[in-house]
Chains A and B, each alone.
Chain A
Amino acid sequence: MALESKIPSGPIQEKWTNHKFNLKLVSPANKRKYEIIVVGTGLAGASAAASLAELGYNVTVLTFHDSPRRAHSIAAQGGINAAKNYPNDNDSIYRLFYDTLKGGDYRAREANVYRLAEVSNNIIDQCVAQGVPFAREYGGLLDNRSFGGAQLSRTFYARGQTGQQLLLGAYSALSRQVGLGRIKLYTRREMLGLVVIDGLARGVVARNLVTGEMERFAGHAVVLATGGYSRVFYLSTNAMNCNATAIWRAHKKGAFFGNPCFTQIHPTSLPLHHEQQSKLTLMSESLRNDGRVWVPKKKGDKRPPNQIPEDERDYYLERMYPSYGNLTPRDIASRAAKRMCDEGYGVGETGQAVYLDFSDAIKRLGKKVIEERYGNLFQMYEMITGDNPYEVPMKIYPAPHYTMGGLWVDYNLMSTIPGLYVIGEANFSDHGANRLGASALMQGLADGYFILPYTIGDYLASQKFIPVKTDHEEFEKEEKAQRDLIKRLISINGKRTVDDIHRELGKIMWDYVGMSRNEQGLKKAIQMIRDLREEFWRNVKVPGNDMDLNQTLERAGRVADFLELGELMAIDALHRNESCGGHFREEYQTEDGEAKRDDENFAYVAAWEFKDVGNWELHKEPLVFEYVKPSTRSYK
């Protein structure tokens, strides 16, 4: 099967405009004849569902949360980018496009990234109109701040709760449509299977998480907006329930998986501090605006930070990357922190941490300003660690955060299964091998508010649909397959808990498929994951029964999928003989330890086709750069 990216021809500034004109329309009277199923209610899912319902489609929304407002987008702290150029610092759509493409280490599609920059300004307008309480200047106009990977102030923010406020905006738009009866909302439902009929995505099978019953939903198109999969590492910044099940089950039904190994390791997480830890907590990257990252110049210096004089501190980001300093992109900052710790300069009890120091900023701006900018983050830090960051520097360390990989989609955001759309973090597009700060919220809302509502109409208008009801044999088959899987999980009755196996998988992933990888380690990881998968299916223990609210069963199904996805991530990392963005292969680095990209051989999207468990076929979508000539990414 050939991958068709459907990138429109013509100059980059006109591609989306021309494409929109060429897309077929569904007339207003016909829109209500179409049923669209949206899975997930984060920024992408909620904004898509609301926009589609406003257009007149019948929309069914599924979420495994008790309320659509709980989606993990709510936890995003720092901000959302747009090319408004309000601060008059020479920003433009083209510059946002350029920075995002370069930031992604030239492993994203030019056309997609340009479109993202193009619609970014509409997003701000839309959110402001919804009442999102963005930060304001005294004159009443919107305020901006800067963020990692950018030399401009183009980030809009609502204190340290930007994700929350944007999500509540999208949630209120969705709620309005629920109230009007145009969206049917099903909470506490987990999508377990995709139903494909005559080659088209026509529905899903979901489990009612309260009663355990299987439920069927039929439609003309299915939209997956189910987020990322960094919980494959067990410890990550993702919420506990984030998982890969929906996209993984769709992958096994024929949707190709793009760039699975591209994981973002976020530089400013709280370090691991006790052995019973369940997740890692992210401190917003915006902290790097005013915080200075340093380690002692002397290896193993155990003095308290306040007793280490200025000239015995190594502000290594400022030293190594003078033009970006503490604002270097996430992959660069993460690897630099790891390198300092690996070389013995790490601080804290474990030596696996670096300082993020606000004392200069407090001296320069006063405590009040810092409190206004980051108060809630400082409070959160103190709550978790018991240390007061106004007085002692924070300790931070990198942690798995955002997954740039995901289901492969074309320019219309459609996967390789016709009628299956994938938006937001669940797809592979737009961020390339690294995601710049404040660009995830931008992509989620761009996909949901301004791209999918146009492109899905073209599919609906150009497709002949046979009527499909939920008693179709494909629904029967899919439901039975899901029931069998659940019965199998419960009947194993082995000795190891789900979390125990998940932790072991996470350790393999972090050690060998984490911040830096090498051939030997990846080969080892693949074997270890296979062995662990076998162990899981022989020896896992899932108490309780299936016709009940059973949280262990929910986790077991997700870990079963992670055990397959983890292998694919390692296979993808192994085949990509280059370093780029979040993917750092130790064999491919420059003399001074920077990532060495290989554009001649690897300027493509790796799209994996599922054949069987542990068996994939690689397809390549070549990436062509007409406007931005790939250059070595330098932040020095």
Chain B
Amino acid sequence: MSSGKLNLTLKVWRQAGPDAKGEFVTYYAKNISPDASFLEMLDIVNEELEAKGEEPIAYEHDCREGICGTCGMVINGRPHGPLQGITTCQLHMRHFKDGDVIYIEPFRAKAFPVIKDLIVDRSAFDKIIQAGGFISVNTGSAPEANTIPVKKENAELAMDAAACIGCGACVAACPNASAMLFVSAKVSHLALLPQGLPEREIRVQKMVAKMDELGFGNCSNVGACEAECPKEIKITNIARLNREFYRARFLSNVED
């Protein structure tokens, strides 16, 4: 437990709608407990705005446990704020100092248009999954679970990749607004498991094609995605994605 309340100046991006002009607006967060989370700090600012009859800052969040992937904003230039390996909702005010000025902006990328203030449209991620990020198995047609043994090491690597929460920080962090870390995490997860192998080639080709179509940029090995990923998804997944992609191009019968 820390003591000593914080007083902060916030510069918050306000934008009424996708086509409206946005700007930074200054707010003051007063008397904030260092044990409060960053979103609780914003709640307090918002409640003061509401009490005055002003429109609160629109931002997205839900579980506040770092797992749903809903929250996400750029805090002082970094997606999910200054700490590594956590989401915005897990960031606590004890990591800030009394008197700090904090810049808060939405995730910025062409494929993630702003909806309002700090809320962006990340449905492009769903479209990539809908294009092929799954194993085709109908309900009720599965074999007995232990008839599919999985090497422990592979299960662990698959789980490392599957831990992606789809928050979009990788895209926001990337100067090219590339979605390769997100796509590679799903491709790796499924390519590492025996269940995923029959669709291995077609899956990677469809997902990459959809990613390109939706306006995400290419990977140029900057590494910002890995640095900012709240779940510490490794950039080695992108290497695997590239290998899977070229492998599929050589092996697949699918026309592209």
Contacts and interface: CB of A to CB of B under 8 A. Distances in A.
Contacts of A84: 145
B52 to A, nearest CB: 8
B142 A125 contact: yes
Interface string B213-234: 0000000000000000000000
B159 A142 contact: no
Interface stretch (B39-47, B99-107, B170-178): B39-47
A273 B66 contact: no
Contacts of B36: 274, 276-277
Interface string B31-62: 01101110111011001011101111010111
A127 B162 CA distance: 14
B68 A74 contact: yes
Contact of A449 (B139, B144, B145, B146): B139
A131 B139 contact: no
Contact of B58 (A127, A140, A549): A549
Given A131-B196, A240-B61, A549-B119, A126 B142 contact: yes
A135 B92 contact: no
Nearest to A493: B53
Given A67-B122, A383-B86, A552-B50, A142 B63 contact: no
A493 B53 CA distance: 8
Contacts of B239: none
B123 A66 contact: yes
A542 to B, nearest CB: 8
Interface string B123-146: 101100111111111111111111
A361 to B, nearest CB: 21
Contacts of B125: 67
Contacts of A449: 139-140
A178 interface: yes
A75 B155 contact: no
A246 to B, nearest CB: 16
Interface string B169-210: 000000000000000000001100101100000000000000
A497 B40 contact: no
A549 B14 CA distance: 13
A516 B68 CA distance: 32
A127 B2 CA distance: 44
Contacts of A379: 85
A590 to B, nearest CB: 37
B134 A142 contact: no
Interface stretch (A98-106, A161-169, A563-571): A161-169
Nearest to A50: B139
B126 A142 contact: no
Given A240-B61, A384-B90, A128 B142 contact: yes
A158 B150 CA distance: 13
A124 B62 contact: no
A602 interface: no
Given A125-B142, A541-B53, A131 B129 contact: no
B62 A133 contact: no
B51 A497 contact: yes
B152 interface: yes
B94 interface: yes
Contacts of A241: 62
B139 A273 contact: no
A134 B158 CA distance: 10
A471 interface: no
Contact of B148 (A65, A128, A240): A128
Contacts of A129: 135, 137, 141-143, 145, 148, 195
A69 B44 contact: no
A133 B162 contact: yes
Contacts of B151: 136, 140
B35 A47 contact: no
A386 B2 contact: yes
Contacts of A122: 140, 142
A310 interface: no
A628 interface: no
A135 B140 contact: no
Contacts of B141: 129
B69 interface: yes
Contact of B50 (A137, A138, A210, A543): A543
Interface string A525-550: 00000000000000001011000110
A161 to B, nearest CB: 6
Nearest to A180: B130
B47 to A, nearest CB: 5
B163 interface: yes
B158 A133 contact: yes
Given A74-B67, A122-B142, A131-B135, 11 more contacts: A67-B123, A67-B166, A72-B68, A138-B152, A165-B159, A171-B129, A176-B136, A281-B64, A497-B47, A549-B116, A551-B58
6 contacts: A67-B122, A126-B140, A128-B148, A142-B146, A172-B135, A282-B65
Interface of A: 47, 50-51, 54, 65-72, 74-75, 84, 86, 122, 124-131, 133-142, 158-159, 161, 164-165, 168, 171-173, 175-176, 178-179, 185, 187, 210, 239-241, 273-279, 281-282, 349, 379-380, 383-386, 449-450, 453, 493, 495, 497-500, 541, 543-544, 548-549, 551-552
